[in-house]
Amino acid sequence: MNQRRLKQRIGPRALTRTLAWLRICAIAGQSVAVLVCALWMQLAIPLLPLLVGIGMLAVFAVFAAWRLSQPWPVREWETVLHVAADTLVLGYLLYFTGGASNPFVTLLLVPIALSAAALSVPAILEVAALAGVAYVVLLLWYVPLPVPIQHHATAGFSLHVAGMGVNFVITALLLGFFINRLARAVRLQQLEVQRARERALRDEGILAIATQAAGAAHELNTPLSTMRTLLPELRREHAGDTALGEDLQLLEDQVERCRTILREMVAFGKAQLSQEPELLSLASFIHSCLERFQLLRPEAELTLQLDDDAARTVLRTPPGLRHALLNLLNNAVDASALNQSQAVSLSAHREGGWLELVVGDHGPGFAATGELAVIGESHKQTGLGIGLALAEATAERLNGELTANNTLDGAEMHLRLPLAVIAARTED
């Protein structure tokens, strides 16, 4: 999807759209020039053929606008045909106004300059050959441009110099404006490619961690089963030692917790393979997450704000969303602890076609405001440093986004997800 969007920003479709705007400007400018020459300067130009040519260009402009409104991809050969149509109409108008001696003949270079920024080398050569053929034809066949009756012999040359000046201004404006637009599209493309490369490196790291975690989970199952068997026997053997019994009970609870985590990892993997999301209301989903969060972090003081409208939303809960929310809450508790606070907040609401989950803390905040690129530069000193990366990867996989910003007494993480992706069909 990203590659397709990049091709639309800079390529045949971008050039065709630029030509459409340029064509509208050409129609307006040519109409004004013809009327000024015929009515104000009273040159004996063939008015009717010129207006017919401008009318043909206007009809083609309407067709081109309709074509751009269609979802079909614009092929390179189609863009070359658009350039050919513009060149033929311009050559037709130049034929009746002096041919190659018309100062506006250099406008034939504009399509070549624009094509060089968006088309392949063969297409550029085709456009250049078309403009070259048009120029050669206008050198040999044309209707001479009439010269106004003046009192001095240099009137024709003065008119030519004035036309060259106007042509210079028009060419400079067109090339400066439209090539700047194409260059901006190139810069945006480079930024997209850089972001895609960074996401690929991050996902590669996450995949490596997931592979290691799967192997570790498989290996841990055996020692955990052994400890689960031995700990009850040790408790029975030392039933009279109350303190040791409490420690052994704690160890047994922790082993059982580890086994539960391993079972959840296996269930998560199976859910990923089956691609069968779990249907839950948002209220049930959040409360199930909070129950597990309270077991993990019983010291946390959580404040929940859940809109009634959002609470009734039925979600096709994708695998990974629960872990993403738990990671954000866990990071919030760690951040608040740096300021000797245990308070965190969670709010959920609908905004248009989006579901937004906001996790707030009372910590020192991030090193820079609002930039995901520096989330890893928060003041948190503990943890593996992958919780936020996993949450961001989950958001992107669901066509959503994860953003951060500092507040007056901490920081907030905003997880925005499109309802079109995560809501049940009854909610679409």
Residues 414 and 358: beta-carbon distance below 8 Å: yes
Average pLDDT value over all residues in the chain: 77
The residue whose two tokens read 């307006």 is: 28
Environment class of residue 354 by beta-carbon count within 10 Å: exposed (0-12), middle (13-18) or buried (19+)?
Answer: middle
| Count of helix runs (H) and strand runs (E) in the chain | 13, 7
Pairing of strands 343-351, 401-407: unpaired
Residues 96 and 46: beta-carbon distance below 8 Å: yes
Q: Quick check: helix, strand or coil at residue 373? A: helix
Question: Which residues, 6+ apart, have CB-to-CB distance to 15 below 8 Å?
Answer: 79, 114, 115, 117, 118, 119, 182
Q: At residue 190, does pLDDT exceed 80?
A: no
Question: Treating both helix axes as pointing N-terminal to C-terminal, what angle do 47-68 and 76-95 enclose, rounded to 10 degrees?
Answer: 170
Highest mean pLDDT among 26-35, 79-88, 415-424: 79-88
State how far the Cα of 368 lies from the Cα of 350, in Å rounded to an integer: 28
pLDDT band at 377 (very low <50, low <70, confident <90, very high): very low
Instruction: Kindly list the distances between the CA atom of residue 248 and the CA atoms of 90, 245, 253, 316, in Å, as whole numbers in the listed order.
Output: 91, 5, 9, 41
Highest mean pLDDT among 97-111, 128-142, 374-388: 128-142
pLDDT, tens only, 208-263: 666 666 666 667 777 877 887 888 888 888 877 878 888 888 888 888 878 777 77
> Which tokens go with 210?
């997931």
pLDDT, tens only, 278-300: 677 888 888 888 888 887 788 88
The residue whose two tokens read 């995949």 is: 207
> Which tokens go with 118?
């968006």
